Amino acid sequence: MERILKKRLDLARRHLRLRRKIKGSAERPRLAVYRSLRHISVQFVDDAVGRTLLALSTCSADFPKGTYGGNVKAAETLGGLAAEKARAAGIKAVVFDHGGRKYHGRIKALAEAVRKGGLKF
């Protein structure tokens, strides 16, 4: 139990350290990524006013039904969908917040799909 608590504390510490450095704004919102074992979700956040501009997840209605949300393919699909919705909302550039997780695997696949979709980091 102690090991699990330490892992959670370490993740929270990394996330706070990252959040000290990056801030989202209206013209360049923060693309916050949350990864769980079964799903992945993204939010476009304007930190100046503390408002979420757009949110998508592998659980949302826009994501294809019957698709497992906890793998790299789902992250790529979600990244492309997020880029498409963001461009429709007038977002051209973002600041990437990987939530204290390594830039690896599903996080990296999502980021590359968002870049391929036309958003600048």
Q: What is the pLDDT of residue 114?
A: 97
> pLDDT at position 67, please?
87
pLDDT in tens, 41-82: 999 999 999 999 999 999 999 999 888 999 999 999 999 999
**Domain spans of the chain, in order of start:** 2-116
User: pTM of the predicted model, to two decimals?
Assistant: 0.90
Taking Cα atoms as reference points, which of 32, 34, 45, 33 lies closest to residue 89? 45
Average pLDDT value for residue range 87-101: 95
Mean pLDDT of the chain: 95
pLDDT of residue 26: 87
CATH 3.40.640.10 fits 2-116, yes or no: no
